[in-house]
Amino acid sequence: MWRSEFRLQAPGHEARGMFGSGMLVVNPPWGLDQRLAAAMGRVAPLLSGAASYRGDWWVGE
């Protein structure tokens, strides 16, 4: 299982609403982790200075 999370900003104490998005992929296609990390690495800096991406394996093969 592969976890992917994208945040537009860090959650604050006073702020409300959604700060980002994520997905959990069961049995992802080969190379998804590298392709997604490369794409989000280019997109995140364009959206805001606080945007960030994180992806990791929850369960390996």
d(CA 57, CA 61): 10
pLDDT tens series, the chain, 61 aa:
999 998 887 766 566 777 888 999 999 999 998 999 999 889 888 887 788 889 999 876 6
Answer whether 33's CB lies under 8 Å from 2's CB: yes
Tokens of 50: 């606080």
Say what the pLDDT of residue 46 is.
87
d(CA 51, CA 61): 30
d(CA 11, CA 27): 30
